[in-house]
Amino acid sequence: MQLALFDLDNTLLSGDSDYEWTQHLISKGVLERDAFELRNSEFFAQYKAGTLDIYQFLDFQLASLAQNSRADLDTWHAEFMATRVRPMLDQKARDLVKRHQDQGDLCALVTATNSFVTGPICRELNIPHLIATIPAQVNGQFTGKPRGTPAYREGKVTRVEDWLESLGLWWSCFERSWFYSDSLNDLPLLSQVSDPVAVDPDSILRAHAEAAGWPILEWHPR
């Protein structure tokens, strides 16, 4: 048995779905441009620098889910998939996922971006399992807060291990395990698998990958 884990943003996607979701809502007038565009860019820069406070970011990112109806959110998300997500999905990403599936590997998408945003993207890629930050709900309405451990940095390792445990599995059950990522924030999970792969990595991850002899894929260079 083998395991294949995939980061989403700037890995399988040639962009960041979290950032683009907020930009999509701004473009529709759902969020005020002056109030949200600068803050969105600030959080994105913090993420790339490895300094992001995930709970501060989630307060920002999940607020729009709590402030709007599920029907409206679903409509906006369908537009988001058509205009922003599918153009960021190239054939290389689809082929990589399919190659692991054809090998019979257990596959999962592992992303810090919340599951409302990423669920349809996961289905678009035909990946059967999603490990994402979970936006809490009460009676079907989003609360604006996360539930459980965000799938971010060390939290990705925790969430993957919880998922494997729910299947009656553990790391040692796998002959090989892959994780594909672009970000220094994913070093904890990259260091856990037997076959870490850097995809268009940021400068810190690139230096680490080169020193460790990890493969580097150049798909959509920064």
Mind telling me the catalytic residues?
7, 9
Q: Are 31 and 22 in contact (CB under 8 A)?
A: yes
CA 20 to chain centre: 13
Residues 6+ apart with CB under 8 A from 138: none
> Is the distance from CB of 141 to CB of 132 less than 8 angstroms?
no
CA dihedral over 126, 64, 202, 149, signed as positive or negative: negative
Sequence-ordered list of residues with C-beta below 8 angstroms from that of 40, at least 6 positions apart, any chain:
19, 22, 23, 26, 60
For 89, which DSSP code?
B
| 196 bridge partner residues | 179
Q: Side-chain half-sphere of 10: how many Cα atoms within 13 Å? A: 19
Q: Are 199 and 217 in contact (CB under 8 A)?
A: yes
What one-letter code names the amino acid at 103?
Q
Read off the tokens for 202: 């940021």
CA angle 174–178–184, rounded 5-degree value: 135
